[in-house]
Structure 1
Amino acid sequence: MPLRLPDRLPAIDILKRENIFVMDDTRAHSQDIRPLKIVILNLMPLKITTETDLIRLLSNTPLQLDINFMKLKSHTPKNTPIEHMMMFYRDFYSMKDEKFDGMIITGAPVETLDYEDVSYWDEITTIFDWARTHVTSTLYICWAAQAGLYYNYGIKKFPLKKKMFGIFPQRTLEGQLPIFRGFDDVFMMPHSRHSEIHREDVIACKELQLIADSEESGASIVMARNGREFYITGHMEYAPNTLDKEYRRDAGIRDDVELPKNYYKNDNPDDKPVVSWRAHANLFYNNWVNYYVYQETPYDITKIG
């Protein structure tokens, strides 16, 4: 089954060239089935890139998904045309009376700030509260994962001496969970961050379950509320060239930029990246949609809560 996307969304043409089956609103309205409603709160600077990365992963389920994009009213993005935001995004306050089967909250480039110093902290914590009563299952990614764990469970973040940057092996600690169905014992995950949460703090919180971690990159996936919340400290959604773009953007500008680990063939940035995480990324998102969104959501969406 295809994804249902807003008409003229740039990701549609990109993904069609990759032979991914997507459906715009015009065609979708002719189908008499209820798609699962997914909302993406996109806090990343390059909105179109992040939209495409996430849609690419969500496309692998046989279920029809109705993708919606949410923006903050208290923050205006600087790197995405205002016309794009007006055409494809709605602010939270215009969506707060709706309910959704699944939600994804992305990372944001505010990692070095204290949470309370983030200009939109009040609004995003309102959204964190709202998600618990209006969404069946929510994925929190990178900064959103750290922020959600802090706000919901008091888990603090700590600055790193140097950026966690590269592709790192992760261990599945709860391999029997449906989210890991089909996974190997070890899988790879991209990371690009300047702060971390501590494994022992997660383990000490009885409401949280650490389900994947890494000796090098630390706690990577935390589950709460029986799968109604997942906190992912890395970027499983990253496209093959994302870390390469980040490296070339920052090299020579920042003094803390190192070659991304386990990424370039022979550690040579003149060679193409070695893609080692995409299969498990696709599987993770497929499992999330199938087992934590579809099987847990009521047919009557108004009963979510």
Structure 2
Amino acid sequence: MPIKLPSDLPAYDVLNREGVMVIDEDVASLQDIRPQRIGLLNLMPKKIQTENQFARLIGATPLQIELSLIRMTEHATKNTAAEHMEAFYRPFAEVAASGEKFDGLIITGAPIEHLEFSDVTYWDELQQVFEWTQTNVHSTLGVCWGGMAMINHFHGVPKHILDHKAFGCIRHQNLAPASPYLRGFSDDMVIPVSRWTELRRDEITAAQLPILIDSTDSGPCLVEDPAHRALYLFNHFEYDSDTLKQEYDRDVASGTAINVPANYYPENDPARAPQNRWRSHAHLLYGNWISEIYLTTPFDIDAIGRNSTDLRKSAKPRKDPAV
């Protein structure tokens, strides 16, 4: 099944050219099926690039996905055209007021790691988002800073500033091969990392949260929070092949001190084209997340959020004869 996108959203043409099956609203309405409603709260400055990255991953499953783009209500982006934001995004306040329910929600990262959470201009509203997920979202995936913010809100786990940027393709270990989220994963894998902060292993385990993917070099990567029906992913499976290169070239051009991203360029030579070594695990993780949502979310979407226990126990298995 395809991902449902507005036909004039840039991601529609990008994914179509890549062979990802996409359909618009008119075609989707002809299919007798309840799509999986996935929201994307996009906090990144380059909105269109981020839309493409996440739509590519969640659109590669056998299920019909309906993607809804959400923004913070008062925060104005400087890097994406106002026309794009007006055409495709809804402010969170409008979404919350509508009473809508979502099978899944992705909360992206944001390049504001140097700020204390309380100093972020939209922190109060983002905390409202976190609380809203407990009644209106079946499963939430917080990515990079979004995951750090969410684990801090619910468990008080702090982020710590690093003395140098964790930057590159870092090897990680699969600590929970029996987890449904890691179905099909190798024992270890390479994942893009790009952050100036870290979350510490002992502080996460003290909060009694299981670490699913870890790294001896860059610390915890994927943490499960069953009580809040959430996953916290501190690194970037969604990155394109050249995203780290774009970040490196930007910093070099601006004169910002930056290390060459580790294990990214062949022979660590920035003049050579990087190779993507994480794509398959990226599709596995997001495919497994979508699959778990499908297996556990209520068929009646209005029933989402009525229970808040373990993800697999929070809803009756859905019955969808159209699939």
Deviation at 1:226, TM superposition (A): 6.1
Deviation at 1:254, TM superposition (A): 4.5
**Which residue matches 1:275?**
276
1:246-257 matches, cutoff 5 A: 246-257=247-258
For residues 35-94 of structure 1, give each alpha carbon's deviation from its aligned partner in whole angstroms, at most 9, with x where no partner exists. 010000000000000000001111221000110000111200000000000110001111
Deviation at 1:259, TM superposition (A): 0.4
Rounded Cα–Cα distance in structure 1 between residues aligned with 2:112 and 2:70 = 18
Deviation beyond 3 Å, 4+ runs, structure 1: none
Does structure 1 residue 134 correspond to structure 2 residue 115?
Answer: no
Rounded Cα–Cα distance in structure 2 between residues aligned with 1:133 and 1:187 = 34
Please tell me whether the aligned partners of residues 213 and 219 of structure 1 are also in contact (alpha carbons under 8 angstroms): yes
For residues 182-216 of structure 1, give each alpha carbon's deviation from its aligned partner in whole angstroms, at most 9, with x where no partner exists. 0011011111101111011001112x111110000
Structure 2 portions without partners, runs of 5+: 306-323
Deviation at 1:250, TM superposition (A): 0.6
Q: Which residue identity is paired with 1:238?
A: Y
Deviates more, 1:241-250 or 1:254-263: 254-263
Structure 1 portions without partners, runs of 5+: none
For residues 231-259 of structure 1, give each alpha carbon's deviation from its aligned partner in whole angstroms, at most 9, with x where no partner exists. 01101100001000000001152443110
**Which residue matches 1:72?**
72
Please identify which structure carries the higher strand content. 1
1:81-92 matches, cutoff 5 A: 81-92=81-92
**Which residue matches 1:179?**
181
Rounded Cα–Cα distance in structure 2 between residues aligned with 1:65 and 1:89 = 17
Rounded Cα–Cα distance in structure 1 between residues aligned with 2:130 and 2:6 = 25
Please tell me whether the aligned partners of residues 138 and 228 of structure 1 are also in contact (alpha carbons under 8 angstroms): yes
1:141-152 matches, cutoff 5 A: 141-152=143-154
Rounded Cα–Cα distance in structure 2 between residues aligned with 1:5 and 1:150 = 32
**Which residue matches 1:193?**
195
Deviation at 1:23, TM superposition (A): 0.7
Q: Which residue identity is paired with 1:85?
A: M
In percent, how many aligned pairs have the same letter? 43
**Which residue matches 2:33?**
33
Does structure 1 residue 223 correspond to structure 2 residue 227?
Answer: no
Q: Which residue identity is paired with 2:2?
A: P
Please tell me whether the aligned partners of residues 163 and 256 of structure 1 are also in contact (alpha carbons under 8 angstroms): no
Q: How many residues are matched?
A: 303
1:205-220 matches, cutoff 5 A: 205-206=207-208, 208-220=209-221
Give the TM-score, by structure 2 length. 0.92
1:52-131 matches, cutoff 5 A: 52-96=52-96, 97-131=99-133
Rounded Cα–Cα distance in structure 1 between residues aligned with 2:74 and 2:118 = 14
Q: RMSD in angstroms over aligned alpha carbons?
A: 1.0
Please tell me whether the aligned partners of residues 134 and 228 of structure 2 are also in contact (alpha carbons under 8 angstroms): no
Give the TM-score, by structure 1 length. 0.97
Aligned pair in 2 of structure 1 residues 227, 133: CA closer, same or farther (>3 Å)?
A: closer
